[in-house]
Amino acid sequence: MISLSLDGALAEITLDAPEKLNALSLEAIAELDAAYAEAAASGARALMLRGAGRAFCAGRDIAGVDPETDDVLGYLGAVEALMRRIAAFPAPTFAAVQGACLGVGLGLAIASDVVYVAGTAKIGSPFVNLGATLDSGGHALLYERLGAHRALDLIYTGELLTGAQAVESGLFSRSVPADELLAFTRERAVRAAAGPTQAFLASKRLIDRLRDEALWRVVAEENRAQAELRDTADYREGFAAFQEKRKPGFTGS
């Protein structure tokens, strides 16, 4: 599910479950966390995160999740810990985002230092279809970059941004043609790995201080809100509809 390769000073982590659009189970979150820990211990001077196949990460793998017994707080707590590890990685981190970048996948991008996206990528958190709310820092990103009205527009409609639109809106670093994305990201990660690592880390720490308080406060509040929504009828209906591949019928309860 998760693979790590070390090539000189560059570590490359791949989400490798293309058949499920690299959606992440709790076990996969633990594997990914371990991969980042191993990459840090290796002394890598830059890291690149990518998804295998046509998607970056479609979010949480809920195919077998029963909302009646779902430990949503346990899952989101693991996601928060992973995001904190990514954000604190002791070298520049890059994410190459193609296809779906949703939910937890969006959180992985938020926690990375530099995010290059394919112009045709699909970015957002269509939680409206699950009777759930955004998590993994989605509220912080959308509000900070888009403002309240546009953020709530995307939340209420479940509409997704293309990679090009996301970059134009200031969400991520830059948009790249899909067939050039991996080579483009890898070249810049390799270049960073040969650069002044301590100077990069000084800048990273300064940027982190500016964003961390708001981001992690919102993540904690998102986790609590998601846990409360688990007990609603709409949450159970949203999960059932997804698993049964049908349109949900929400009642507002």
Confidence of residue 125 (pLDDT cuts 50, 70, 90): confident
CA separation for the pair 24, 37 (Å, rounded):
18
Q: Compute the average pLDDT of residues 23-28.
A: 96
Q: Which of 154, 34, 17, 146 is nearest to 82 (CA)?
A: 34
pLDDT above 90: residue 212: no
Q: Compute the average pLDDT of residues 201-224.
A: 88
pLDDT single digits (tens) 35-47: 999 999 999 999 9
Residue given tokens 């949503």 in the structure block:
72
pLDDT at 67: 81
Three-state DSSP string of 15-27: ECCHHHCCCECHH
Q: Compute the average pLDDT of residues 185-191.
A: 98
pLDDT at 240: 84
Please give the structure tokens belonging to residue 211: 């964003």
How buried is residue 124: exposed, middle or buried, by Cβ count under 10 Å (0-12/13-18/19+)? buried
Confidence of residue 237 (pLDDT cuts 50, 70, 90): confident
Rounded to the nearest 5 degrees, what angle is found at the Cα of 105, between the Cα atoms of 151 and 81?
A: 100
Please give the C-alpha separations between residue 79 and each of 5, 75, 220, in angstroms, as whole numbers. Answer: 22, 6, 11
pLDDT single digits (tens) 128-186: 888 888 899 999 999 999 999 999 999 999 999 999 999 999 999 999 999 999 999 99
CA separation for the pair 116, 185 (Å, rounded):
7
Q: Which of 236, 221, 243, 123 is nearest to 172 (CA)?
A: 123
Domain ranges for the chain: 2-179+196-244
**The CATH number of domain 2-179+196-244, selected from 3.30.200.20, 3.40.630.10, 3.90.226.10, 1.10.357.10:** 3.90.226.10
